[in-house]
Structure 1
């Protein structure tokens, strides 16, 4: 495992993701979720339907992909934009190692700022009745892996990765992925919900995608995005050397 992680790349990535601007947004989203959870619990009491709505419609459909955008694109996009990635790539390290390192950091940050607050919010909303807190926290963690890989890849191919990522997160996942039946099968949110459905009480959480297809799609998308990101990084290096 150590051969897959480059300490310098990890340190630089953590520093970039937890800088003032990004850290402020990363902290603001979970805090907003917890404030909503506390307010809803105070106003309505413990209610499974309300908890499902808050955790599904806001946390998983909006907050988790937004955090994925920040962590995934922020792990490498700024370094490519300002050219500082050249100094890292000048070191005798495989490009795939750089990508895997940055992906692991992005996943770690995403999980901490999404799955953990979702778990806490679930307990606040209904005390984990029907295993909703655990189910949605699992879905948030799984979705964080896929989002981190997707947006990391996006950060290697375009300077507008954040804008495209925000459009995807707010339009496709939050709107189409939640409301349009045909689009749900191509939604990371729905794939993650398939695992949440298995973890929660019967009927507590539902997904339009079966468990087996969801797992396959999550693995394929995460693996493909990581592989293409490594290839893209390698091509950028070669282009810079020509």
Structure 2
């Protein structure tokens, strides 16, 4: 594992992700979730259906993929865009190590800024009634891992990674993944909801995908995206446009 994780690459990636502009966005989304949770609790009291709507409709369907876009694409995309990646690639660090390190950082940032606020919001909304707070926090965590891999891959294959990621997060996950039947089977949101369904009390959370299939799909997409991102980074040359 130590050969796959490089502390210097991790430190540089954390510094890039937590810069002034990105940090403002990263803090604003969970901040908005907590404001909504406090307001809803003050206006309607503890209600399980309302908590499920807020945690599922905003936290998991919108906030988590958006933070994944910011962290995943921001872990490597800007370095490729401005050409500074050449200095990183010139170092005696294996390119799969670079990708895996950035994946760990992007995933960690996404979990901190999505899963933890989701857990706190759940306790604010209904005191973890029917295990909703814990269930959605688990869903946010596993979704963060897969989103981190997916959006890191986007950052290595296109200069428009943020735009593509936002379209995916807002259109596919938030809209089609919630409303269109066939699209739900191919939604990270629904895969993660399968784990939330397992954790929550019976009937409190539902998913369109069974638990074994959801776990398999989450693992497959995460591994495949991380592997292919490493392979794409290998094709970058120091003499190229990047």
Please confirm whether the aligned pair reaches a TM-score higher than 0.5, indicating the same fold: yes
- 1:172 counterpart residue number: 172
For the residues of structure 1 that align with 2:28 and 2:190, how far apart are their CA atoms?
Answer: 25
TM-score (norm 2): 0.98
- 1:134 counterpart residue number: 134
- 1:63 counterpart residue number: 63
Contact 2:86 2:238 in 1 (8 A): no
Go from structure 1 to structure 2 and tell me whether the alpha carbon gap of 1:193 and 1:157 turns closer, same or farther (over 3 Å shift): same
Deviation of 1:127 after TM superposition, in Å, equals: 0.1
Cα deviation, 1:123-171, whole Å, max 9, x if unaligned, reads: 0000000000000000000000000100000000000000000000000
> Helix, strand or coil for the counterpart of 1:4?
coil
- 2:116 counterpart residue number: 116
Aligned length: 241
TM-score (norm 1): 0.98
For the residues of structure 1 that align with 2:47 and 2:158, how far apart are their CA atoms?
Answer: 44
Contact 2:89 2:238 in 1 (8 A): no
- 2:207 counterpart residue number: 207
- Listed as ranges, the gaps of 5+ residues in structure 1 are none
- Listed as ranges, the gaps of 5+ residues in structure 2 are none
For the residues of structure 1 that align with 2:239 and 2:227, how far apart are their CA atoms?
Answer: 18
CA RMSD after TM alignment? 1.0
- 1:9 counterpart residue number: 9
For the residues of structure 2 that align with 1:148 and 1:109, how far apart are their CA atoms?
Answer: 9
For the residues of structure 1 that align with 2:86 and 2:70, how far apart are their CA atoms?
Answer: 22
- 1:183 counterpart residue number: 183
